[in-house]
Amino acid sequence: MKSEHYQDTAYLDILRWISISAVVMLHVVSGVVDTIPEQMTAEQQNIYEMIKNMMTVGVPVFLMISGSLLLNPEKEIGIEKILKRYVSRILLALFLFGVPYAAMELIAQEGSFSWMMVIRGFFLTLSGNTWTSMWYLYELVGIYLLTPFIKLVVNYAGKERFVEYGLILGFLFSILFPFIEQAFGIHIGIVYQLSGVYLFYYVLGHYLHQHGTFNWRWCAGLLAILECMIILNRIMGLGMEVQYNSPITAAVSVSLFLTFRNLEKGNSGLSAKRNVCFGIYLVHTFFLNVFYKLFHITPLKVGYSGIILFWILVFGLSFAASEIMQKIPVLRKYVV
């Protein structure tokens, strides 16, 4: 009989769709902020940065979803399975999409095409120099490779509280100490060899999925307060950085995760399309690059409503492209 902690995972599908929506919106606004900041007024930069900060939650929650599923003690994942089923899938996706993206960037830079660009694109992707949105896949490969070792700790933690110990260390070295250094200039010289905020979120997702029983209304209230703090940070110019390893991002991620973790369980209705999300992640920056770099059309040309319009347009095109990929047997089986 399965543990009650792992019987219902429908809320993870809701979180998956929230996260991919946030990631698309993040890249809609960051594509403007990072490429044509000189065309923006101070007010526009504030609005775009504020939205960007609010959407930073997407990737941490994605990692928490993965951790809650793959670190399930009742799910057997050995070295062979992790390599054949998970690592190989991400590597195939990385090179299948990363190489063309790198080659497209070369074409845009040099104004011509040659087949050597494909070879150069391969080596650029291998070295991590394809489009920046693909960084997540590189990170995911590393985390998947560590998963068999992490599961040993998760499965045999027992009364020694190894998971809690690891999460405390992860929070200190990956989030709190970097924040102290950035905010106060105090450098902590101790080296923690497993420091990495993405690994922290991965294990945290498992822990909260198993133990995170709280009143969802309190969690939702905390989430609302934290998002208001992010908004006020930009309006008042407080200068608080909101990145993946920021304490406020960790707090927002936990609050969002726990809000849906503790809602009444049931079929979300989104589970049937859960696999479409990965395809959306892979292709959404293609459409953004077409609009921003090829046609030179950005939300700035429309006004603030353009942010929503671009999000709807890019999300819709990416959803359609992902659905098409799902209908191609080879892609569906081995990549998306």
Amino acid at 98: G
Per the model's pLDDT, the better-predicted residue between 111 and 205 turns out to be 205
CA 70 – CA 328 distance, rounded (Å): 26
Taking residues 21-26, report their average pLDDT. Answer: 98
Is 295 a residue whose pLDDT tops 60?
yes
| 32, 300 Cβ separation under 8 angstroms | yes
On the question of pLDDT at 7 being above 70, the answer is no
What pTM does this model have? 0.92
| 190 Cα distance to chain centroid | 28
- Residue ranges making up the domain that contains 261: 4-334
Indicate whether 182 pLDDT > 70: yes
Give the pLDDT confidence of 227-278 residue by residue, as tens digits: 999 999 988 888 788 999 999 999 999 999 999 999 876 655 678 788 999 9
Q: Residue 261: what pLDDT?
A: 94
The residue-averaged pLDDT of 84-96 equals 96
pLDDT at residue number 5: 47
- For residue 198, is pLDDT > 60? yes
pLDDT of residue 205: 96
Token code pair at residue 53: 């900060």
- The whole-number average pLDDT for the span 302-322 is 96
CA-CA-CA-CA torsion sign (318, 323, 324, 328) = positive
Question: Higher-confidence residue: 36 or 317?
Answer: 317
pLDDT per position as a tens digit, 284-294: 999 999 999 88
Q: At 157, is the pLDDT very low, low, confident or very high (cuts 50, 70, 90)?
A: low
Which pLDDT score, from 0 to 100, does residue 160 have?
A: 66
What angle do helix axes 305-326 and 10-33 make, rounded to 10 degrees? 130
**Chain-wide mean pLDDT for the chain?**
90
Q: How confident is the model at residue 159 (pLDDT cuts 50, 70, 90)?
A: low
Q: Give the pLDDT score at 239.
A: 78
CA 309 from chain centre, in angstroms, equals 22
Domain count, the chain: 1
Asked whether 316 and 59 are in contact (CB, 8 A), the reply is no
* pLDDT more than 70, % of the chain: 95
* 132-156 pLDDT per residue, tens: 999 999 999 999 999 999 988 887 7
Q: Is the pLDDT of residue 122 over 70?
A: yes
**pLDDT greater than 80 at residue 329:** yes
**What is the four-CA torsion angle of 124, 22, 324, 103, rounded to 10 degrees?**
-20
